[in-house]
Amino acid sequence: MTDTTFTSLERVLTSLQQKEPDRVPFFLLVTMHGARELGMSIEEYYSKAEYMAEGQIRMRERYGHDCLYGFSYASAELEAFGGKTFFFEDGPPNGAAPIIFSADDIDKLEKPCVLDQPSLTRVLDAQTLMKERIGDEAPIIGVVMSPFSLPVMQMGFEKYMDLILGEPDVLERLLAINEAFCIEWANAQLAAGATAICFFDPISSSTIISPQQYRATGFKSAQRTIAKINGPTATHFASGRCLPVINDLVETKTAMIAASVDEDLGDVKGAANGRLTVFGNLNGIEMRRWTPDQTETIVKDAIAKAARGGGFILSDNHGEIPWQVPESVLDAVSQAVHKWGRYPLDWIGN
């Protein structure tokens, strides 16, 4: 399934310019589905760059979406700091034990060199292979965990929240290390072939911390970090709410913001007001149970709320479509976008 008027990259860039391309761009952020396509386990799939690149190419050929997702799993970054990853048969890999237990551990923590870490160089090699295959036809999306959200894997959620609320000086020491790592990791991906960087920052969402806390912590870290990333970024709160801090997000100089399924797409698009491109917000958990008719209705509604005038990319709301979402639903999303996403959207309001 292809569109001949615009390439995927042209379609996305046009939308980023707050203009209407030929059709609404959409990202199916499938990661693990490539393993199923290649007939292998999730752990085996992530063991070689060639597998990840081939999986992404095949997924795009099958569903006709507008990007390749140059992402493996979040705890690849924990591995770079000396941590370990648990693999599962039917879900995303997760980090094992924390690596930070005290302020002394933070004092001893050192920034790893990205090019010395197998968990990261596999991703870089996969992105290079994707770029060789796709050229400039479609964007390749790289991923970093924000310096402010990475500590959840490094030290555990409860201890990290205690650090945010009670030890600002220690927090700043940890952020400095993570910021240097994040910048190096993002720029290595851009050099390898990524077109843009998805800046995952769930702890900064208003679902997790208050806007006031965000402005004192995660916001400042994002400003410092994004300023040194050598390409466009999309800030993703991984299902968390963005509306209360959308004006702050504009100030970080990010180009895109992901809307939570708990927020109305029309409200987010209105608040962005042409300053940010909005992407989202299909409910990845509920997608497991959608029928083709439900899928079409939901996709059509999202387009009606946010797609006029460009500045919108349809995607899931979390940044990773669950393993349990069947291929029939992904097919139905694609078919609905190609049916209802053609500009001009004259059917809206009729």
Residue 111 pLDDT: 98
Radius of gyration of the chain (CA): 19
| For residues 225-231, average pLDDT | 98
| For residues 57-65, average pLDDT | 97
φ, ψ of residue 315 to 5 degrees: the values are -160, 180
Q: Does residue 230 carry a pLDDT above 60? A: yes
Percent of the chain with pLDDT over 70: 99
Tell me the pTM. 0.96
- Tokens (6 digits) for 83: 């941590």
Give the distance between the most distant pair of CA atoms in the chain.
63
| For residues 171-190, average pLDDT | 98
| Antiparallel, parallel or unpaired: β 68-70 and 256-258 | unpaired
Please give the distance of CA 140 from its chain centroid, rounded to a whole number.
Answer: 11
CA distance 187 to 189: 5
* Contacts with 64 (C-beta within 8 Å, 6 or more apart), sequence order: 1, 2, 3, 334, 338
Band of pLDDT at residue 17, cut at 50, 70 and 90: very high
344: cis peptide before it, omega within 30°?
yes
Residue 2 pLDDT: 40
Q: Please say whether the beta carbons of 53 and 126 come within 8 A.
A: yes
Give residue-wise pLDDT tens across range 124-162.
999 999 999 999 999 999 999 999 999 999 999 999 999
φ, ψ of residue 236 to 5 degrees: the values are -125, 120
- Tokens (6 digits) for 147: 């310096």
For 53, counting Cβ atoms within 10 Å of its Cβ (0-12 exposed, 13-18 middle, 19+ buried), the class is buried
Q: Please say whether the beta carbons of 131 and 192 come within 8 A.
A: yes
Residue 143 pLDDT: 98
**Domain ranges (residues) in the chain:** 8-340
Q: Please say whether the beta carbons of 35 and 53 come within 8 A.
A: no
Specify the DSSP element, H or E, that contains 141: strand 140-145
| CATH label, 8-340, candidates 3.20.20.70, 3.90.209.20, 3.20.20.210, 3.40.50.10860 | 3.20.20.210
Residue 349 pLDDT: 79
Please give the distance of CA 223 from its chain centroid, rounded to a whole number.
Answer: 18
Give residue-wise pLDDT tens across range 84-123.
999 999 999 999 999 999 999 999 999 999 999 999 999 9
Residue 4 pLDDT: 52
Buried b (16+ CB within 10 A) or exposed e, 90-123: eebbebeebbbeeeeebeebebbebeebebbbbb
Band of pLDDT at residue 5, cut at 50, 70 and 90: confident
